[in-house]
Amino acid sequence: MRMIIPNSSFLYVSGKGSRLFQYKDSAGTVDAALVESAIADIPSSELPAAVKARLVTQAKAKGANRGWPKFAPEMLCEPIPAR
C-alpha cells in the first residue's frame, strides 16, 4: 500500500497541485535530510527568485526550529574570516 503524503509535508504546492520540496517524512516529522535536500534543490528550480528566497528561508527555519545546529541562525550566513 502506497503512503499518501499530505501537502503540508511540502514547502511549495502550486495552484495546480504540483508539490515541491518535501521536508517532512511519511510520519509527518520534519526530516533533516529532506530539509537539506530542499535547500539544495530550491535554487535550481524554475520558480521566481523571490519565491525561491522565501522557500530557502522557510526550509532553514524548519531545521533551526528542530534545534539542529547546522540550521541555527548563525550558521545560515557566510562565516566571517578571522583576522
pLDDT for 80 beyond 50? no
- How does the average pLDDT of the chain come out, rounded? 83
Q: Which domain holds residue 47?
A: 7-68
Asked whether residue 83 is domain-assigned, the answer is: no
Q: How far apart are CA 5 and CA 26, in angstroms?
A: 6
Q: Quick one: pLDDT at residue 83?
A: 54
Asked whether residue 39 is domain-assigned, the answer is: yes
Grid cell for residue 44: 535550481
Q: How far apart are CA 29 and CA 74, in angstroms?
A: 24
Number of domains in the chain: 1
Asked whether residue 44 is domain-assigned, the answer is: yes
Asked whether residue 80 is domain-assigned, the answer is: no
pTM to 2 decimals? 0.76
- Residue range 32-59: average pLDDT? 93
